[in-house]
A and B are shown apart, each in its own frame.
Chain A
Amino acid sequence: MTGYIARRIGYSLVSLFLLSLTIFLFVRLTGDPTTLLVEPGASQADVDAVRERFGLDRPLWVQYASFMASLAQGDFGQSFYYRTPVLELYLSRLPNSLLLALAAMGFSLLIGIPSGILAAVRVGGFWDRTGKVFSLLGLSLPSFWVGLVLILFFSVYLEWLPSSGSGTALHLIMPAFALGWYFAAAHMRLTRSSMLEVLGSEYIKLARLKGLPESLVIAKHAFKNALIPVLTLAGINLVIMINVAVVVETVFAWPGIGRLLYEGVTFRDFPVVQAVVLLCGAMIVVVNLLIDILYAVIDPRIRLER
């Protein structure tokens, strides 16, 4: 078991190293940040001064080595735009993103799981058809459009909710719905297919043959087992919601990490983009690592694999 965990941690570190290299190089392919940090028409001396200040005048490998050396000490560098430590910026936005992500996740699970179960229990029935329409809309409508329609209806027309910003529970409702809808649709589809698979299994047939009431069969025997893949997906989705709710956070002026990433991309703020992507990657890697370990605990065949 120890060897298995060590191997998994090793793979995780390799993944993070590759991610750091990829994001470091890719973000630099997108253009020169100095052109955005000074006004077009600024003198070459000013452009050079900005490059020197942010270390962009050094060879790429020197920049990467310096980045990794700082990273090893937990320093993600300074934001070009804000001129403050990136980790400080990230941590200041994290509570807002966690709040939004948890609210959106709660909404998506609350809608997605029951509707997925209903759709699986009555295949082809009213709930199944309604659920298909719901999931089709949830997966296909762009979230910026959903966000703007919500603002126009609930904020401008009905005047019930504030149009944007943060600070009160009312501010949270629309962004949580706009962000959660997409994931609710995804959770609903997965719950449905997972339930259908479980409901067709031998032990469910046995439970029914034993004469257990259908509600007990679904709630106790089928649902529990069908929930495992849904919760695994929800875990990864939560990380995505925390880190890359770019569109929803921008439309609703929600001061989270997604918007920080948007600002980072807009201003070519390399340290910000690198930090957000790496921390998001680290979260996903950690979640996957934990899942791998849990699987190995549950299933001995996995930990014996080479």
Chain B
Amino acid sequence: MAAVQVGSRPTLSPISGRPNSRPGISPIGSICGWLLAVATLALITGGPGVAGAAKPEGQLTWAVHISLAPTWFDPAEHPGIITPYMVLYALHDAIAKDMPGKTMAPSLAESWTASEDGLTYEFVLRKGAKFHNGEPVTAEDVKYSYERYRGVAAKTLKDHVAAVETPDPQRVRFKLKQAWPDFLTFYASATGAGWIVPKKYVEQVGEEGFKKAPIGAGPYKFVSFTPGQELVLEAFEEYWRKTPSVKRLVFRVIPDEATRLAALKRGEVDIAYSIRGELAEELQRTRGLSLMPVVIQASFWLYFPDQWDPKSPWHDQRVRLAADLAIDHKTINQALTLGHSRLTNSIIPDIFDFYWQPPAPAYDPAKAKQLLAEAGYPKGFDAGEYYCDVSYANLAEATLNNLQAVGIRAKLRPLERAAFFKGYAEKSFKNIIQGASGAFGNAATRIESFVAKGGAYVYGSYPDLDALFQQQGTQLDAKQREATLHKIQQIVHDRTIYAPLWQLAFLNGAGPRVGESGLGLIGGHAYSAPYEDVTLASK
């Protein structure tokens, strides 16, 4: 182990075995050779694992845009929003989780199988995985974590699961009441139920004690937390996947965007989350700093809630299509997120399972005007109100300008976030709604909330779509289910039920001390992760 410590260069990735040195500089050549040899040795001696890994060194500091909550230290409290993953990926580990290049990658479970009838799922746990207190991760911990889970979709999960069995310390068996094709999505992706906590320790310190001094099986150990100020973590050298490269991680809460940028410029922090608009441009211009855009699983769209009212102009599909064609997605993207948001033309994030890729969005104002004329509105029409969450009023203003340019005249009604989502969910809006969602799940869960009859944000539905949605819920064959879900998405696109806007890019900044920021390694993930892959820059 000690042989890998080469000066202060924590740049070797034991998994990839890729030395982070530059060729052509002769004095370093011998070191490179050393590193390469050590990397090869690391691969030969087991690849993933701690054997032969370099000692973690140095510190990286994040400027976080939102106050860290102690509930994020406990996967049982998972609220179904993106932010807790900022901490979960460091402190804890899951049965399976999204990893670079793979969704639901085996983590604490090295494999799993599902019975043919879809009623039993069996997970085989990874040998050698440990909690920060040195205790091994066992089947009892997995069962306990599931039973203790009380966060988002806890009821949905527990309504479907009949029993959890632990035939031996390395195996866990979930028995379902009836076949449920989305079991893995809910257990291992959309909730915190598959993130494992140490049973003995939680029982010993109690719920509050666990939040104050959490122990997990993740790559970083808890050191301290000062509410409203910072969270400090330290590398867990016995992490099963690899020894983290950076010794200490500090997450400092800086709520103001301009202050975050100032702290990054001054070198007080190394990575600053959420730097938008003009500040992002300034960041891009600043020498030594890098703009790090990450496209997250948050899709934005226009919804036409009156399309089921025969008296409304929006009932005519040509009008909805005209609105869709009027939007200059590329220009808006360039202006607001420096071109980094993704124009998927779908309300479903492209990283979700069962995603169907629609044709690229088209910008054709002439055709939009023609469609409006054909629909009986040659001079356009007064479209009433355009509702949006005030946090994204800039997107709404740009889109509204595009609509007005073809004759769809609407009045912007930006509402404070809570009021907006309350009105949206209570179906009290009319005309145009600029909606968005960053909820976890797959194409089916998004369709359930936004397309199918009875969904939380569904103002009306189409019987054929509802029938298809019911059908996919019983299909155990993944291919068949995928075909049905693709068909639903295609119909949503063809009928212009929505006019998708973009999949949002979360803009961040990184300073010169950062080697690998971890940003964008995991598709759709907003923050740095996996933390064991994060490195300092070579000196």
Instruction: List chain A residues, Cβ under 8 A from B263.
Output: 163-164
| A46 and B152 form a contact (CB under 8 A) | yes
Query: Which residues of chain A from 28 to 43 have any CB-CB distance to chain B below 8 Å in the complex?
Result: 30-33, 35-43
The residue on A at minimum CB distance from B83 is A39
The residue on A at minimum CB distance from B159 is A45
In the bound complex, CA of A28 to CA of B503 (Å): 32
| B153 and A31 form a contact (CB under 8 A) | no
| B69 and A251 form a contact (CB under 8 A) | no
Choose among B227, B258, B441 the residue that contacts A82 (Cβ–Cβ < 8 A): B227
User: What's the interface size class on B, roughly?
Assistant: 35 or more
Instruction: List chain B residues, Cβ under 8 A from A37.
Output: 79
| A81 and B418 form a contact (CB under 8 A) | no
The residue on A at minimum CB distance from B259 is A164
Instruction: List chain A residues, Cβ under 8 A from B440.
Output: 39
Question: Does A106 touch B at the CB level, under 8 Å?
Answer: no
Among B421, B435, B438: residue with most chain A CB under 10 A: B421
Choose among A32, A46, A83, A152 the residue that contacts B80 (Cβ–Cβ < 8 A): A46
Instruction: List chain A residues, Cβ under 8 A from B439.
Output: 39-42
| A82 and B419 form a contact (CB under 8 A) | no
Which segment of A213-221, A222-230, A236-244, A256-264 sits at the interface?
A: A256-264
| B450 and A41 form a contact (CB under 8 A) | yes
Encoded as 1 (CB less than 8 Å from any A CB) or 0, chain B from 428 to 471 comes to 00000001111111000110111000001100000000000000
CB distance from B202 to the nearest CB of A (A): 16
Question: Does B252 touch A at the CB level, under 8 Å?
Answer: yes
**Chief secondary structure at chain B's binding surface:** mixed
Question: Does A25 touch B at the CB level, under 8 Å?
Answer: no
Instruction: List chain B residues, Cβ under 8 A from A49.
Output: 154-155
| B436 and A40 form a contact (CB under 8 A) | yes
CB distance from B298 to the nearest CB of A (A): 9
Encoded as 1 (CB less than 8 Å from any B CB) or 0, chain A from 71 to 101 comes to 0000000000111100001001100000000
| B81 and A39 form a contact (CB under 8 A) | yes
The residue on A at minimum CB distance from B422 is A32
| B152 and A36 form a contact (CB under 8 A) | no
Question: Does B169 touch A at the CB level, under 8 Å?
Answer: no
Instruction: List chain B residues, Cβ under 8 A from A2.
Output: none
Assess A39 versus B417: contact at CB under 8 Å? Given A159-B266, A251-B256.
no
Encoded as 1 (CB less than 8 Å from any A CB) or 0, chain B from 40 to 72 comes to 000000000000000000000000000101110
| A250 and B71 form a contact (CB under 8 A) | no
| B418 and A41 form a contact (CB under 8 A) | no
Assess A165 versus B229: contact at CB under 8 Å? Given A41-B446, A41-B457, A81-B69.
yes
Question: Does A255 touch B at the CB level, under 8 Å?
Answer: yes
The residue on A at minimum CB distance from B207 is A83
| B418 and A163 form a contact (CB under 8 A) | no
CB distance from B222 to the nearest CB of A (A): 16
| B416 and A30 form a contact (CB under 8 A) | yes
Question: Does A183 touch B at the CB level, under 8 Å?
Answer: no
Among A40, A50, A155, A166: residue with most chain B CB under 10 A: A40
Choose among B82, B153, B258, B416 the residue that contacts A46 (Cβ–Cβ < 8 A): B153
| B457 and A40 form a contact (CB under 8 A) | yes
| A35 and B268 form a contact (CB under 8 A) | no
| A41 and B256 form a contact (CB under 8 A) | no
Assess A43 versus B449: contact at CB under 8 Å? Given A155-B266, A253-B255.
yes
Instruction: List chain B residues, Cβ under 8 A from A156.
Output: 262, 265-266
Question: Does A119 touch B at the CB level, under 8 Å?
Answer: no
Encoded as 1 (CB less than 8 Å from any A CB) or 0, chain B from 402 to 439 comes to 00000000000000111101101100000000011111
CB distance from B357 to the nearest CB of A (A): 20
Question: Does A151 touch B at the CB level, under 8 Å?
Answer: yes
The residue on B at minimum CB distance from A167 is B229
Instruction: List chain B residues, Cβ under 8 A from A255.
Output: 226-229, 253
CB distance from A253 to the nearest CB of B (A): 4
CB distance from A243 to the nearest CB of B (A): 15
Encoded as 1 (CB less than 8 Å from any A CB) or 0, chain B from 176 to 213 comes to 00000000000000000000000000000000000100
Encoded as 1 (CB less than 8 Å from any A CB) or 0, chain B from 119 to 143 comes to 0000000000000000000000000
Question: Does B254 touch A at the CB level, under 8 Å?
Answer: yes
The residue on B at minimum CB distance from A37 is B79
Assess A41 versus B81: contact at CB under 8 Å? Given A163-B266, A164-B254.
no
In the bound complex, CA of A83 to CA of B211 (Å): 10
| A31 and B456 form a contact (CB under 8 A) | no
Instruction: List chain A residues, Cβ under 8 A from B82.
Output: 39
Query: Which residues of chain A from 152 to 170 have any CB-CB distance to chain B below 8 Å in the complex?
Result: 152, 155-156, 159, 162-166
Instruction: List chain A residues, Cβ under 8 A from B259.
Output: 148, 151, 163-164, 251-253
CB distance from B209 to the nearest CB of A (A): 13
CB distance from B96 to the nearest CB of A (A): 20
In the bound complex, CA of A30 to CA of B422 (Å): 10
| B418 and A32 form a contact (CB under 8 A) | yes
In the bound complex, CA of A43 to CA of B425 (Å): 11
CB distance from B161 to the nearest CB of A (A): 15
Assess A45 versus B418: contact at CB under 8 Å? Given A251-B256, A259-B255.
no
Question: Does B77 touch A at the CB level, under 8 Å?
Answer: yes
Instruction: List chain A residues, Cβ under 8 A from B457.
Output: 40-41
CB distance from B113 to the nearest CB of A (A): 28
Choose among A39, A89, A252, A268 the residue that contacts B418 (Cβ–Cβ < 8 A): A268
| A42 and B422 form a contact (CB under 8 A) | no
Q: What are 27 A-B residue pairs whose CB atoms fall within 8 Å in the complex? A: A35-B417, A38-B81, A39-B79, A39-B82, A39-B437, A40-B437, A40-B438, A40-B439, A42-B456, A43-B153, A43-B456, A49-B154, A81-B67, A83-B211, A93-B227, A151-B258, A163-B259, A163-B262, A164-B262, A164-B263, A165-B254, A252-B256, A255-B227, A259-B228, A259-B255, A262-B255, A263-B228
Chain A residues close to B by CB (< 8 Å): 30-33, 35-47, 49-50, 81-84, 89, 92-93, 144, 148, 151-152, 155-156, 159, 162-166, 250-253, 255, 259-260, 262-263, 268
